[in-house]
């Protein structure tokens, strides 16, 4: 009987501890994460979407994805690769949104735009989404928390992501570039947590002159990670077979740093990513402890 009482007290303490943690972090949303949940095609939130006209100012339009449930959510802005628009990585928008984010998938003014221009357009799209959140007729009315923003993008969109994070206002909390390309290699002043998704056989943005350089130039005081998919090319984010692992790390990164949700920390550093290295999903893994 005494043992049962002790177990009941311990369980009660755990429940109170979890409740206290959730109360301490008002941004924590959704159930406790699992590998299977993060690798699934959709998360726990139902999602809606609306098109953004190409006539908007500052960028080329795109799509807003958002949780249909009431509430305020972090905003993620995703920039497309060179010679492409958001449809080339369109799966990523609803995937991230279904874990409790508003996501703006950006089309650019010209598919030939370089990272510097894409970064400016990424910032314009962020402002657009924030403005939409203040309009009662918008489907994202009151849904965007302008203090918590994340950025992502593929190829030159990934380079734009790093530039935006380096040069950004303080409301940008996390960056997750995918096989990023940038002629600017200096990220010694980057203070936004950055997780870089690279692919081993990338011959367009070779890791030795792009992703690895970006990781190495980011200061050790900044939370950072380098995840390299084994045997994959520069276009790995466009391959459906890679969606589970890329989606898992992108969502976990934004949940950890945009939502400040420490439940996701084990998915970014330690035994769980080491398992992806051990099962040969990754050819290389580097983190600074996060």
- Residue-wise pLDDT tens digits, 231-270: 999 999 999 999 999 999 999 999 999 999 999 999 999 9
- Rounded Cα distance between 165 and 188, Å, is 12
Q: Please identify which of the residues 234, 259, 261, 269 carries the catalytic annotation.
A: 234
Q: Give the range among 103-112, 176-185, 227-236, 281-290 with minimum mean pLDDT.
A: 281-290
Backbone angles phi, psi at 260, to 5 degrees: 55, 35
Who contacts 12 (Cβ-Cβ below 8 Å, separation ≥6)?
none
Q: Please identify which of the residues 86, 155, 182, 211 carries the catalytic annotation.
A: 155
Q: Which domains are assigned to the chain?
A: 37-287 (3.40.50.1820)
- Residue 278 structure tokens: 């051990």
Q: Please identify which of the residues 113, 202, 259, 276 carries the catalytic annotation.
A: 202
pLDDT, tens only, 113-127: 999 999 999 999 999
Asked if residue 3 has pLDDT above 80, the reply is no
pLDDT, tens only, 64-74: 999 999 999 99
Pair type for strands 224-229 and 101-106: unpaired
Asked if residue 187 has pLDDT above 80, the reply is yes
Is 99 in the active site?
no
Asked if residue 132 has pLDDT above 80, the reply is yes
Backbone angles phi, psi at 54, to 5 degrees: -70, -5
Which among 213, 226, 151 is positioned nearest to 181, based on CA atoms?
Answer: 213
Asked if residue 4 has pLDDT above 80, the reply is no
Which among 233, 281, 226, 242 is positioned nearest to 41, based on CA atoms?
Answer: 242
List, edge to edge, every strand of the sheet that includes 282-287. 47-52, 62-67, 101-106, 73-79, 144-154, 172-178, 194-199, 224-229, 282-287
Segment 29-52 shows an average pLDDT of 98
Q: What was the pLDDT predicted at 23?
A: 58
Backbone angles phi, psi at 182, to 5 degrees: -160, 135
Is 202 in the active site?
yes
Residue ranges with strand state E in the chain: 47-52, 62-67, 73-79, 101-106, 144-154, 172-178, 194-199, 224-229, 282-287
């Amino acid at each position: 009987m005494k043992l049962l009482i002790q177990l009941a007290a311990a369980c009660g303490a755990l429940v109170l501890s979890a409740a206290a943690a959730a109360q301490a972090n008002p941004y924590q949303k959704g159930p406790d994460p699992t590998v299977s949940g993060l690798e699934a095609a959709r998360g726990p939130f139902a999602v809606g979407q609306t098109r953004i006209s190409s006539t908007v100012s500052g960028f080329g339009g795109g799509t807003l994805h958002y949780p249909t449930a009431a509430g305020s959510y972090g905003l993620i802005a995703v920039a497309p690769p060179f010679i492409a628009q958001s449809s080339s990585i369109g799966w990523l928008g609803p995937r991230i949104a279904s874990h409790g984010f508003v996501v703006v998938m950006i089309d650019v003014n010209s598919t030939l735009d370089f990272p510097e221009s894409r970064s400016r357009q990424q910032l314009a799209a962020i402002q657009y989404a924030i403005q939409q959140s203040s309009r009662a007729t918008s489907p994202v009315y009151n849904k965007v928390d302008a203090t918590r923003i994340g950025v992502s993008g593929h190829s030159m969109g990934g380079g734009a992501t790093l530039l935006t994070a380096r040069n950004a206002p303080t409301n940008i909390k996390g960056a997750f570039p995918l096989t990023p390309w940038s002629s600017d290699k200096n990220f010694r002043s980057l203070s936004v947590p950055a997780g870089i998704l690279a692919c081993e056989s990338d011959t367009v943005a070779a890791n030795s002159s792009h992703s690895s350089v970006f990781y190495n130039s980011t200061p050790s005081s900044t939370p950072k990670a380098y995840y390299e998919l084994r045997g994959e090319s520069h276009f790995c984010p466009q391959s459906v077979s890679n969606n589970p692992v890329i989606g898992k790390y992108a969502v976990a990164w934004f949940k950890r740093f945009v939502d400040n949700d420490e439940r996701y920390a084990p998915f970014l550093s330690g035994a769980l990513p080491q398992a992806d290295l051990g099962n040969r999903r990754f050819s290389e893994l580097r983190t600074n402890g996060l």
